[in-house]
Amino acid sequence: MPTFDIVSKIDGQTLDNAINNAKKEILNRFDFSDSKSTIELDKKTNEVTIVTENEMRLKAIEGSMISRMVKQGLDPQSMDFGQEEYASGNMIRKEIKIKEGIDKETAKKVVKKIKDSGLKVQVSIMDDQVRVQGKKIDDLQAVIALCRKEDFGQPLQYVNMRN
């Protein structure tokens, strides 16, 4: 029986390249010439930490990161912008989590959308991915088209298509 998996993954090396390019762009900008801004990517926890002086610079750094991610082919919806907090002195710190895997709520939305469509497929949630099984490959391709039209709040990839 043909199957495929719906997952949400970010390539770590591509993300690292996008963050490094954003860092270089910020360092070379004139309005950041006397800045003490830093951008750090923790590869183990997939978390980006930004430390800068004011709100304007924080927004500029976020914009640069988003544009670099788009240029690298990554979906910026995978970033979960947290709240700003004041670090030592007049510095602002912001933690940005990179979402990996489909959380339970999003998986339930995906399953509900597929079941409501009336396609003859079986859908199951497996840890941080959704598995779809069907008798015909055409039904599976219809499920992929259906999921691409819908916005579930995070980027989805369709992998492991087996016949």
For the chain (163 residues), the mean pLDDT of every run of 10, in chain order, is: 90 92 89 86 91 90 93 90 82 91 89 89 90 90 91 88 83
| pTM to 2 decimal places | 0.80
- 94 with 140, same domain: the answer is no
- 86 with 19, same domain: the answer is yes
d(CA 44, CA 14): 15
- 65 with 117, same domain: the answer is no
d(CA 80, CA 51): 17
State the residue range of the domain holding 28: 12-98
The predicted pLDDT at position 77 comes to: 87
The predicted pLDDT at position 1 comes to: 85
Number of continuous H segments (helices) and E segments (strands) in the chain: 4, 8
Over the Cα atoms of the chain, what is R_g? 19
Q: Which two tokens stand for residue 125?
A: 């949630």
Pick from 71, 22, 29: which is nearest to 50 by CA?
Answer: 22
- 82 with 146, same domain: the answer is no
Q: Do 140 and 2 meet the contact criterion of CB atoms below 8 Å apart?
A: yes
The predicted pLDDT at position 22 comes to: 92
CATH for 155 = 3.30.70.860
Say how many domains are in the chain: 2
